[in-house]
Amino acid sequence: MPVKKVDSLLADYAFYHRKRGNKVCHFIGIPLIMYSLFVLLRPVVLIEPFTAAELLVILSIAYYMSLNLKLAIGMLLTTSLLDFAAGKTADFRIGIAAMTIGWIFQGIGHAVYEKRSPAFLRNLIHLLIGPLFLLNEVWRVRRITPASAA
Partner 1 sequence: MKIKVIVFPGSNCDHDTERAFRNLLDQDVEMLWHKEENLGNADLVVLPGGFAYGDYLRTGAMARYSPVMEAVERFAREGGMVFGICNGFQILCEAGLLPGALMKNACLQFRSMQVHLRVETTRSPLTKHLAQGQILKMPIAHGDGNYYADHITLTELVDEDCILFRYATPDGLIIPEANPNGSIFNIAGICNKERNVFGMMPHPERACESEVGSADGLTLLRSLMESLELSTQPRLAKVASL
- By CB under 8 A, tell whether 127 contacts partner 1: no
Phi, psi of 136, deg, nearest 5: -70, -30
* 49 cis-preceded (ω within 30 degrees of 0): yes
By CB under 8 A, name the one of 43, 70, 123, 143 that touches partner 1.
123
- By CB under 8 A, tell whether 84 contacts partner 1: no
Beta bridge partners of 74: none
- By CB under 8 A, tell whether 149 contacts partner 1: yes
Stretch that binds partner 1, among 35-43, 74-82, 96-104, 120-128 (CB under 8 A): 120-128
By CB under 8 A, name the one of 18, 21, 45, 143 that touches partner 1.
18
**Helices (H), ranges, the chain:** 5-15, 20-41, 52-67, 69-88, 92-108, 125-139
- By CB under 8 A, tell whether 3 contacts partner 1: yes
- Cα angle vertex 124, ends 95, 118, to 5°? 80
Interface residues with partner 1 (CB under 8 A) are 2-5, 8-9, 11-12, 15, 18, 116-117, 121-123, 125, 145-147, 149-150
